[in-house]
Structure 1
Amino acid sequence: MGLSTREIMDASLDLVGWEDVPADSTIYVPGDGIETALVGIDLESPELRLAASEGYDLALAHHPVGGRARLEFPAVLDRQVTFLTDHGVPEDEAEEAVAELRERTELSAHAANYRHDPSIAELLEQPYMNVHLAPDEVGRRAFVDAAESLDEEATVGDLVERLSTIPELATARTDVEVRVGRTDNAAGEVAIHHAAGTNGGAPVARTYFEHGVDTVIYIHAGGDDPRELREEFGDAKNLVVTGHIASDAIGMNALIDALEERGVDCTPVSGCGIGRES
């Protein structure tokens, strides 16, 4: 019988107990009777042609590329404010920390060719969708569990070691890196800043540090952000970067497992499948 694209979207939400489809996730071309899926972190026009030519019932991507998921993407940045306030940052300061990122993201979304990849899928009659925030939340919770399993005396090195036991991070060719701080620093209060659209850059990390957080975890960081933070905080605070694709694979692998349990044969490409047992 197979699944519909809506049922696959619901399966992603079920991983984290959500009911509403996040703004950064959508079905570009709906489909029914899905029994095979090409699944990747990034699936764009070339991969859509591949999916169509190889007869896949669905192209299932992680990153948003168009439609609602591209245009409404800035809405998920609200979670950045929530994460900051959860660590004691006043709401007005949290909003200020996210303001530049929100504006940049809104401008980028408005300028984007939101029809490019979806229109190719339509031409190929290739069912196509992306699921972003819910799989990222799976990864975030894995990081929270890793951090909370440490004792109060744990160092940043202990945190890196514990994170590195997550199969996707252990298997990836990228390592968990300390971009700001030292491995022998106390991990102290740890903020997991993931599953909020993207990383918060130097402004968000700075705001955490100014309000007593000792260690911030991002899955990726821009080239200038660690330098800015080192210039301001030296080695006194810590920014740990887990690795973008490996971190994204955590939730996408969980979704692949859930779909295969329901009879969908998934072929992982483009970063999916890292650290996953076949």
Structure 2
Amino acid sequence: MGLSTEEIMQISLDLVDWDEPPADSTVYVPGEDIESALVGIDLESPEIQLAHDRGYDLALAHHPTGMSARLDFPEVLDTQVEFMTDHGVPESVAEEAVADLRSRMDHGGHSSNYRHDPSVAELLDQPYLNTHLAPDEYGRRVFREVADGLADDATAGEFVDALSDIPELHAAETDVRLRVGDPDNDLGEVAVHHAGGTNGGASVARAYFEHGVDTVLYIHVGAGDTADLREEFGDTGKTLVVTGHIASDAIGMNAVVDALEERGVECDTISGCGIGRDE
């Protein structure tokens, strides 16, 4: 007998010992007796149709596409404040650093067609869910282990090399980049800023750098943010490491796939999921 969508959501949460789905993770169309799944980083209307046409019992996405996972998405930004305060950033400074991001996410969710993809799944009666924050938290812990495993006098370049040995990052067509700083910078205190819904941009990295953090890890960052940070911190010994969006997301989603297959669910991976699973 297969699993329900609720059980599959819980399996993703169990990877990080959580009990409740966060605001960015939702069962859009529930299902029972699930024995096969199409799993991807982004599964939207065409992929939902593909899952239906190919007879998959579930379409399982990483990124949120609709309903509460978009409308309530700003709630997950609380995690970014927690990350910053854990590294000594005052709470008021951390809140200010994410204020613009909160506003943009709120406006974006309010203006988006949050019914588009879920309504297609409903019409097809195709079970459909996404799990976002928990797999990302799994990936964050992997990155944290890499940072913590380096010597006290490690350099930023050595951190990049160690990250590049993670199977998903090693197999990806993208590579780990130093967007700010030089390989011979002292690694120092590392803030792994992943599993906060999205990257924090220049304002969050700035808050870290101004309160004692030497190296910030993002999985993606915009060109404008990079330019601003290079101008402010390029010659200060501070470092911004960017690991690559899809390969980094694949770390957690591959763990979800492994856990599902252990429970007897046959999974096929597309849309970035599955990167590095053969390594």
TM-score of the superposition, structure 1-length normalised? 0.99
Asked if structure 2 preserves the Cα contact closer than 8 Å seen for 1:84 and 1:94, the reply is yes
Question: What residue identity is the alignment partner of 1:274?
Answer: I
* In 2, Cα distance between equivalents of 1:53 and 1:233: 52
Cα offsets for 1:223-263 (capped at 9, x unmatched): 10111001111232110000000000000000000000000
RMSD of Structure 2 on Structure 1 (CA): 0.7
Are positions 1:26 and 2:12 aligned together? no
| Alignment correspondent of 2:59 | 59
SS at match of 1:16: coil
Aligned pairs (5 A) from 1:129-148 = 129-148=129-148
Residues 117-152 of structure 1 show CA distances to partners (whole Å, capped at 9, x for unaligned) of: 000000111000000000000100000000000011
Does the Cα contact within 8 Å between 1:219 and 1:243 map onto a contact in 2? Answer: yes
Q: Classify the secondary structure of the residue corresponding to 1:275.
A: coil
Aligned residue number for residue 114 of structure 2: 114
CA deviations 1:58-108 (Å, max 9, x no partner) are 000000000111111110000000000000011001100110001111110
> What count of residue pairs does the alignment treat as equivalent?
278
Alignment of 1:44-193 (within 5 A): 44-193=44-193
Q: CA–CA distance in 1 between the matches of 2:30 and 2:157?
A: 46
Amino acid at match of 2:99: A
Could you tell me which amino acid in structure 1 is paired with residue 243 of structure 2?
T
Distance 2:110 2:260 in 1: 33
Counterpart residue number, 1:261: 262
Q: Deviations over 1:1-25 (max 9, x none)?
A: 1000000000000000000110000
Question: CA–CA distance in 1 between the matches of 2:67 and 2:128?
Answer: 12
* Residue equivalent to 1:209: 209
Is residue 199 of structure 2 the alignment partner of residue 199 of structure 1?
yes
For residues 92 and 188 of structure 2, the distance between their equivalents in structure 1, rounded to whole angstroms, comes to 25
**Rounded Cα–Cα distance in structure 2 between residues aligned with 1:224 and 1:235:** 18
Unpaired segments ≥5 residues, structure 2: none
Map of 2:220 onto structure 1:
220
Equivalent residue, structure 1, for 2:276: 275
Q: Quick one: distance in 1 between partners of 2:149 and 2:235?
A: 24
Long gaps (5+) in structure 1:
none
In the TM superposition, what whole-angstrom CA distance separates every residue of 1:26-48 from its partner, at most 9, and x where no partner exists?
00000000000000000000001
- SS for the counterpart of 1:198 is coil
Contact 1:28 1:127 in 2 (8 A): yes
Secondary structure at 1:232's aligned position in 2? helix
Residue 120 of structure 1 aligns to a residue in which SS? helix
Q: Determine if contact 1:194/1:219 at 8 Å carries over to the other structure.
A: yes
SS of residue paired to 1:227: helix
Following TM superposition, the consecutive aligned residue runs of length 4 or more in structure 1 with deviations greater than 3 angstroms are none
Question: What is the Cα deviation at residue 277 of structure 1?
Answer: 2.5
1: distance between equivalents of 2:191 and 2:205?
9
CA contact (8 A) 1:180 1:235 kept: no
Distance 1:207 1:171 in 2: 32
Q: Distance in 2 between the 1:210 and 1:257 partners?
A: 40
Structure 2 Cα separation of the partners of residues 10 and 167 of structure 1: 25
